[in-house]
Amino acid sequence: MTVLLNGQVIGEGGELRTAAIRLRDGRIAAIADQLEAMPGEEVIDAAGRLVIPGLIDLHIHLREPGFEEKETIATGTRAAARGGYTTVACMPNTSPVTDSPEVVERILASNRESGSGVRLLPIAAITRGLSGDRLTDMAGLKEAGAFAVSDDGVGVQSPRMMKAAMREAARLELPLVAHCEEEDLLIPGACVHTGEFAEKHGLPGIPPEAESIHVGRDILLAEDTGVHYHVCHVSAESSVRLIREAKEWGQRVTAEVSPHHLLLCDTDIPGPDPAFKMNPPLRSKRDRAALLAALKDGTIDFIATDHAPHTAEEKKRPITEAPFGIVGLETAFPLLYTHLVLTGELTLAQLVDKMTRIPADRFGLPWGELKEGAQADIAVIDLEAERTIDPETFYSKGKNTPFAGWKVKGWPMMTLVDGRVIWREDGI
Ligand SMILES: NC(=O)N[C@@H](CC(=O)O)C(=O)O
Ligand SMILES: [Zn+2]
């Protein structure tokens, strides 16, 4: 048994209050203003710290199997635990692609063997080899433990294939998680948003409608299938408009946004630096404002990092050739706390909700809340701790972040899953 004493929890009305939390048999046995430590009980002093449900990230890349030089399940889940995450969902663009029950089982086994303690939810491919032309055996994948299906990394180009995928995913009650990108609208070497920055540097651009045309198409395709259709990493105002309308219409559509799209736009890119290259790209000020408004009003449901590690060598290539993607697990909470909560854009309660309860609720997961009887998945955060982001200190093998050198507050100090400490800051 463990008891966390004197922590700050977020109350019903969003206010902070001091509380003690008793953990027993992997669950939250009691939450009260005060509790007495019992003989033999492990005591964690959380005085002055924020105690919240463990963070949930439903879009990350762990690169195993196949690209272990970029990240492994062991290093990526360790980075997750350090970031305050207790549950993460990993995308299938591995090698081999996560398109067979064997790969799903291998990912789950690797996480068990790593002893990370992080709950790992494998997302399986929609099409074999992410080729876009043949559906996977979704029933077999689900049976093996797949939590959703996605071809993330590429868009499903054929509407006919997407419709078939939606029907099958609906039948099996598997969420369909879409990377929205119409390749017919891309030119070779396209690497940044079609806008001010691309023009200034003479770089080929990725237009926002390459994303939103798929969002609109998919909403229409999903309409009579009953599928849970989820849009990955929304970046464009036009996508937001379509999602908003579909929700008003009563469709089962959800969406995520990543921290970098909330905090940066193309005009913040200092130069042609691959640390600022990700897919979808950083867009205009207007797009960024639309994303923030959509997150506030619930059109965009929650935040997911799209943690996408790559090697330093790969990210040293010219911007047109370097791979897309940046890491995010170890910096998401402090970045968002500092730049959205301390600036008054979101309340602390809203931010936490969009990183815990809401993703769990939308995907029917049993975690994400601090309440009696719930699984004891917890993050302990020091809202006052201020540090400068230094990629060299990351547990992740990926050091590719556009936020190096940013000084931010609100660092995770301890992470528990099932009432067990899976990571704690040295000296805590
Ligand atoms: N987001 C990225 O820029 N890259 C991702 C793929 C993806 O999520 O689309 C990757 O796998 O590297
Ligand atoms: Zn993607």
Q: Which residues line ligand 1 (CB under 6 A)?
A: 61, 93, 152-153, 179, 278-279, 306, 308, 323-325
Distance in angstroms (rounded) separating the CA atoms of residues 74 and 426: 19
Top-tier CATH class for 2-50+375-424: mainly beta
Q: Which of 10-14, 233-237, 313-317, 392-396 has the lowest mean pLDDT?
A: 10-14
Whether 92 and 98 have beta carbons less than 8 Å apart is answered as yes
User: 3-class SS at 427?
Assistant: coil
Give the position, in ligand 1's atom list, of the atom nearest the Cα of 277. 3
Annotated binding site for Zn(2+): 59, 61, 152, 179, 233, 306
This prediction has a pTM of: 0.98
CATH fold label, 54-362: TIM Barrel (3.20.20)
Give the list of residues 6+ apart from residue 251 with CB closer than 8 angstroms, or none: 219, 222, 223, 229
pLDDT of residue 426: 85
Distance in angstroms (rounded) separating the CA atoms of residues 133 and 129: 9
Share of the chain above pLDDT 90, in %: 99
pLDDT of residue 353: 98
Whether 312 and 399 have beta carbons less than 8 Å apart is answered as yes
pLDDT, the chain, mean: 98
Q: Where in the chain is the domain with CATH 3.20.20.140?
A: 54-362
pLDDT of residue 204: 97
How far away, in angstroms, is 179 Cα from ligand 1 center? 9
Ligand nearest to the CA of 260: 1
Residues 173-220: tens digit of each pLDDT: 999 999 999 999 999 999 999 999 999 999 999 999 999 999 999 999
pLDDT confidence tier of residue 165, bands split at 50, 70 and 90? very high
Q: Which residues are catalytic?
A: 306
Q: Hey, which of 264, 306, 396 would you mutate to test ligand 1's pocket, going by the most ligand atoms within 8 Å of its Cβ?
A: 306
Distance in angstroms (rounded) separating the CA atoms of residues 224 and 326: 36
Q: Does the structure show a pLDDT above 90 at 423?
A: yes
pLDDT of residue 428: 73
Annotated binding site for substrate: 61-63, 93, 279, 310, 324-325
State phi, psi for 234 to the nearest 5 degrees: -65, 135
Q: Does the structure show a pLDDT above 90 at 427?
A: no
Q: Where in the chain is the domain with CATH 2.30.40.10?
A: 2-50+375-424
Residue (of 375, 365, 341) closest to 259 by Cα position: 341
Residues 129-147: tens digit of each pLDDT: 999 999 999 999 999 999 9
Is this complex scored with an ipTM above 0.90? yes
Residues 375-385: tens digit of each pLDDT: 999 999 999 99
pLDDT of residue 184: 98
